[in-house]
Amino acid sequence: MPELAFFRHGEELLRVALADRTSVGRAPDCDVCLPDPALSRLQAEVERRGDGFVLVDRSGRGTRVGAEVRSEAPLTDGTEIALGAWRALFRAGPGGDDGLTRRGGLTALRAAGPEPAPAARLRIRERARERVIDLDGDRLVVGKDPSADVVLDDPFVSARHLRLERRGARWHLRDLGSTNGTLVGGLRVAEAELAPGLAVALGDSELVLEGAARPRPAEAAFEGMISGAPALRQLFELVERVAPSDAAVTILGETGTGKELVARALHRLSSRRDRAFIPVNCSAIAESLIESELFGHEKGAFSGADRLRKGAFEEADGGTIFLDEIGELPIDLQPKLLRTLELGEVKRVGASRPLTVNVRIVAATHRDLQAQVRAGKFREDLYYRLCVVPLTIPPLRARAGDVGPLAAHFLARAAPRGLPVRFSDEALEKLSRYEWPGNVRQLKNVVQRALLFRGQGLVIPPSAVTFEDARGASAGAGDHDTLFVRGLTMEDLEREAIRLSLRRHRGKRAAVVKELAIAKSTVMKRIAQWSLQDEGRDPALSLPDEED
Ligand SMILES: Nc1ncnc2c1ncn2[C@@H]1O[C@H](COP(=O)(O)OP(=O)(O)OP(=O)(O)O)[C@@H](O)[C@H]1O
């Protein structure tokens, strides 16, 4: 179910499931009341529109969504909303019945059957009295009425004030329309997931959940990344450790292993998280344009440069630049990048003076960079500057056990709303025997195709699981501009064409419309239909219509 997760000082304090309309503001009658003087009484509302959610500012001053202050903004998975000292993160749909659950800061595989619920207790503070009860059942009502499961002798508590409900290993609370409201961590809430240790205030009384599963703050940063494999979990821990520093990180791994997801997690876990994350794919830009793409150009610097253009480094100032496919960076440009790394300076093409920038560099490559150095294609000094912290993502074939959970995850995301499709045991077997040259990206494509090929049934047979030729639809190095058509439907092709174009143009819809010569309304419709909103851009800064 779509939800907003609320963070204060980096700690996730509560989650609120989104109804058709959820109000957020300072006033006590908001669904989520944030007692923050920087906010209006009614700051914003999150409204369901069609299949998606939109944030509508009600303060008249705009609400910060991602990097910009907006009066209205569609929300995509991972979009951040700044609310005074609070941050809210929109999650389109947390792992539910796809066999996955989040634990220990990461999305982790549930071994078999439902996640065992840790023994939870409820500490009840009522004026001078304090007691602790075990939460044995699945739900209980708290109120003044003698029929309530927990009866409070408090004149400011309503007869049936709130309900606590267990969902898997977690506890949710719902205010039952109480007169004086329910406050969690100082927020007035209608419905929220409870973090253990956090006080729930009702009237003059307080409830504290103890001993239940606690979501860790880093969880949001790895949003969308699935793994039960020990190697990947160790990597996640390393990411958490190096993220706060400004050290240059290079992520090594085959194509489609999730290098960009890790780069985004590094950014989200750093103090730069509220600034820009700018991805640049060095293999997707013509060699003649890379310098201006990275460093910008002055007006008139070359023919066609009819206006000044800031480069990616300037755009990323204060934030993070992600140099994907760094192994493809032309050798003659490498000294310029080295200079930027050493001095924090960039010089626009055609400029006489450099500019100072403060950018954290995260690079990635599927190539063996050391071999590139030996072959004279990559400068050794640049290699050492970039690889201060090398992070290696193992290929999918080396992560036994990840294929099943990932397939279930992608299936749940791709299946029409509420359709309980699943892979047959034979289909799963076929998936787990495959070598996955295109790694997780290829698996995602295979799952989407299997869904289309399954016919009418709810159980996907092995015949619907088809693989592309050895290189795969997206499996080759630097093949973002190439489509392999064998086994693809027209719909697959259209989706891939739009997806690749979005990646090439860093998510800019107007550029996609121009490049593909498709009507803007069609492009927007397809992006929504196939959930491509995040392609080519940082979801946290996702502002779909703004730049067009
Ligand atoms: N562990 C994971 N859990 C869920 N999705 C994943 C995971 N790893 C990768 N993906 C998905 O696989 C696709 C490829 O990931 P990503 O673009 O980060 O790979 P990459 O290594 O940067 O690829 P390339 O080298 O081709 O740029 C994306 O759709 C991403 O969301």
Question: Which residue among 251, 439, 440, 533 is best mutated to probe the pocket of ligand 1, counting the most ligand atoms within 8 A of its Cβ?
Answer: 440
Q: Which atom of ligand 1 is nearest to the CA of 226?
A: 3
pLDDT of residue 340: 92
Sign of CA dihedral 21, 23, 24, 30: negative
Q: Whose CA is nearest to atom 28 of ligand 1?
A: 441
d(CA 506, CA 372): 27
d(CA 137, CA 505): 52
pLDDT of residue 325: 93
DSSP 88-147: EEEES----SSSEEEETTEEEE--SSSPPPPP-EEEEEETTEEEEEE--SSEEEEESSTT
Cα of 222 vs centre of ligand 1, distance in Å, is 12
Residues 6+ apart with CB under 8 A from 458: 419, 420, 421, 422
Q: Whose CA is nearest to atom 24 of ligand 1?
A: 255
pLDDT of residue 241: 82
Query: How many other β-carbons are positioned within 10 Å of the β-carbon of residue 291?
Result: 21
What's the token pair of residue 175? Answer: 């205010």
Cα of 224 vs centre of ligand 1, distance in Å, is 10
Query: How many other β-carbons are positioned within 10 Å of the β-carbon of residue 334?
Result: 17
The stretches of 216-360 forming alpha helices (DSSP H) are 230-242, 259-268, 287-295, 312-315, 334-343
Question: Which residue among 102, 109, 232, 260 is best mutated to probe the pocket of ligand 1, counting the most ligand atoms within 8 A of its Cβ?
Answer: 260
Q: Whose CA is nearest to atom 10 of ligand 1?
A: 258
Q: Among candidates 283, 441, 423, which has minimal Cα distance to 367?
A: 283
Question: Which residue among 254, 441, 530 is best mutated to probe the pocket of ligand 1, counting the most ligand atoms within 8 A of its Cβ?
Answer: 441
pLDDT of residue 468: 66
d(CA 341, CA 87): 31
What's the token pair of residue 40? Answer: 């209006």
d(CA 547, CA 508): 7
Q: Whose CA is nearest to atom 2 of ligand 1?
A: 225
Q: Which atom of ligand 1 is nearest to the CA of 474?
A: 26
What is the layout of strands, in order, in the sheet containing 80-83?
68-70, 63-65, 80-83, 86-91, 3-8, 11-17, 191-194, 170-175, 162-167, 139-143, 150-151
Cα of 442 vs centre of ligand 1, distance in Å, is 9
d(CA 7, CA 220): 10
Supply the pTM of this predicted model: 0.54
Q: Which atom of ligand 1 is nearest to the CA of 365?
A: 25
Cα of 472 vs centre of ligand 1, distance in Å, is 15
Cα of 42 vs centre of ligand 1, distance in Å, is 38
Question: Which residue among 219, 261, 403 is best mutated to probe the pocket of ligand 1, counting the most ligand atoms within 8 A of its Cβ?
Answer: 261
10-residue mean pLDDT profile of the chain (548 residues): values are 73 74 84 81 93 93 87 87 84 46 24 46 84 86 94 93 84 87 75 75 88 53 70 82 86 92 91 89 84 92 85 93 94 92 91 92 93 93 88 89 85 73 90 91 90 82 78 36 49 77 83 80 84 67 34
Q: For ligand 1, which residues put their CB under 6 angstroms from it? A: 224-227, 253, 255-261, 324, 364, 366, 406, 440-441, 444
Q: Whose CA is nearest to atom 26 of ligand 1?
A: 255
Cα of 443 vs centre of ligand 1, distance in Å, is 10
Cα of 317 vs centre of ligand 1, distance in Å, is 25
Q: Whose CA is nearest to atom 30 of ligand 1?
A: 258
Cα of 287 vs centre of ligand 1, distance in Å, is 25
Q: Provide the ipTM.
A: 0.98
Q: Among candidates 199, 196, 173, which has minimal Cα distance to 185?
A: 199
pLDDT of residue 228: 67
Q: Which atom of ligand 1 is nearest to the CA of 324?
A: 27
Q: What φ, ψ does residue 189 adopt, rounded to 5°?
A: -130, 150
pLDDT of residue 543: 36
Q: How many helices (H) and strands (E) does the chain have?
A: 13, 35
